[in-house]
C-alpha cells in the first residue's frame, strides 16, 4: 500500500508549537488585508455551503484568513498539488508509479471517486486562474480514476464546483471569461471571484509561500515533509500567522459579514446562519 505524501505546513490556527521560530522576524505589513477579506467572503458565499479545497499554493492566504475567522474551519482544506508537469512535452504522460502516488495523496484528502460519488455537500476547488489549466488537468485525473473504478462520474461531476480567482478587469457586454475557452467547463459548476490587480499579482506571482511547489517530481519525495527554516520562509510564516490572527479580529469579521450580506447567497439559510455566528467568535484563541 502506498503511503500518502504532502508538504509540511505549520498549523497556524493552533500555533503553540512554533516556539522561537519567529524571534527577530519583523512584523509583516498586511497592506492587502481589506481586499483579501473581500475576496475570502466572496469565495465563501459562492461555495454553496461546500467543503473548500484550495488547490496549489496561490490561495493559501484566503485559507488562512477564513481559518481564523470561521466558526467551523473544518470545511477548509489545503490541496497541495501542481499539475504543470503533467503531460508536459519534456516529461510525457504520468507513469504508473506516479499515478499511484498521486491517487494516494488525493485519497488522504478524501478525494477518491467513491467518496466523491457518495457525498452530499459540494466539493469546491479554489485557485487563482488564468486559463484554467490546473483545474482541467485535475478533472482529467479524477475522471480517469473514476473510469478505472467504474464510479459514477456524472454524480461526481454534479458534486464538484470550481471557484476561480480572476484578475479584476473592466467589464463590458463583450468581456470573455476564461471558462468560455475550455470545453470541460460545461461539465461542472463554475463561479468566479474578481480580485483586485495588486492582490491577484501578489498571490499568483510574488508572495513567498510556506511550502515548495508540489509537482510530479515531488509527489513521493520525503524531503517535502520537513519544514524549511530559511529567512524567506520565516517571513512567510510570520505573514501567514498574522493573516490568521487578523481573521480572528472583530474588525475583519465585521467586514467579512458586511461583504457576505451583499452576496446573493445571503438568501440561503446556511449563509445567514454562518453570518449570525461570526460576531460570537472570540477575538483570540481560548
Per-residue pLDDT reduced to its tens digit, 95-145: 999 999 999 999 999 999 999 999 889 999 999 998 888 999 999 999 999
Which pTM value belongs to this model?
0.92
In a domain, 65, yes or no: yes
The domain total for the chain is 1
Which pLDDT does position 281 carry in this prediction? 55
**Could you tell me if residue 182 is inside a domain?**
yes
What does the pLDDT average to over 89-96? 81
Write the pLDDT tens digit of every residue in 51-85.
Answer: 999 999 999 999 999 999 998 888 999 999 998 88
Residue 183 placed within a domain = yes
Judged against a pLDDT cut of 90, whether residue 173 lies above it is answered with: no
Residue 67 lies in a domain: yes
Mean pLDDT of 244-273: 96
The answer as to whether 180 is a domain residue is yes
Say if 283 falls within a structural domain: no
Question: Any idea which of 145-149, 155-159, 185-189, 263-267 has the lowest mean pLDDT?
Answer: 185-189
Does residue 91 lie within any of the structural domains?
A: yes
Identify the domain containing residue 183 by its residue range. 34-276
Residue 22 in any domain: the answer is no
Give the strand order in the sheet containing 51-55: 76-79, 51-55, 123-128, 160-167, 189-195
Amino acid at each position: 500500500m502506498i503511503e500518502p505524501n504532502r508538504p509540511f505546513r505549520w498549523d497556524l490556527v493552533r500555533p503553540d508549537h512554533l516556539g522561537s521560530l519567529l524571534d527577530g522576524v519583523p512584523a509583516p505589513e498586511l497592506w492587502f488585508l481589506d481586499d483579501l477579506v473581500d475576496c475570502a467572503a466572496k469565495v465563501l458565499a459562492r461555495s454553496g455551503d461546500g467543503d473548500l479545497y484550495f488547490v496549489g499554493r496561490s490561495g493559501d492566504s484566503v485559507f488562512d484568513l477564513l481559518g481564523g475567522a470561521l466558526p467551523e474551519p473544518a470545511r477548509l482544506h489545503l490541496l497541495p498539488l501542481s499539475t504543470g508537469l503533467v503531460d508536459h512535452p519534456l516529461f510525457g504522460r504520468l507513469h504508473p508509479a506516479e499515478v499511484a502516488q498521486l491517487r494516494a495523496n488525493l485519497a488522504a484528502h478524501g478525494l477518491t471517486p467513491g467518496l466523491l460519488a457518495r457525498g452530499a455537500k459540494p466539493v469546491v476547488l479554489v485557485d487563482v486562474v488564468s486559463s484554467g489549466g490546473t483545474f482541467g488537468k485535475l478533472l482529467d485525473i479524477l475522471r480517469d480514476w473514476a473510469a478505472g473504478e467504474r464510479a459514477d462520474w456524472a454524480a461526481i461531476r454534479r458534486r464538484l464546483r470550481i471557484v476561480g480567482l480572476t484578475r479584476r478587469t473592466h467589464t463590458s457586454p463583450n468581456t470573455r471569461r476564461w471558462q468560455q475557452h475550455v470545453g470541460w467547463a460545461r461539465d461542472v459548476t463554475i463561479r468566479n471571484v474578481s480580485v483586485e490587480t495588486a492582490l491577484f499579482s501578489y498571490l499568483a506571482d510574488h508572495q513567498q509561500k510556506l511550502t515548495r511547489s508540489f509537482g510530479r517530481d515531488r509527489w513521493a519525495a520525503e524531503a517535502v515533509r520537513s519544514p524549511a527554516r530559511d529567512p524567506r520562509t520565516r517571513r512567510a510564516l510570520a505573514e501567514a500567522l498574522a493573516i490568521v490572527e487578523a481573521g480572528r479580529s472583530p474588525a475583519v469579521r465585521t467586514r467579512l459579514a458586511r461583504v457576505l450580506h451583499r452576496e446573493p447567497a445571503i438568501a440561503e439559510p446556511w449563509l445567514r446562519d454562518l453570518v449570525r455566528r461570526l460576531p460570537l467568535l472570540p477575538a483570540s484563541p481560548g
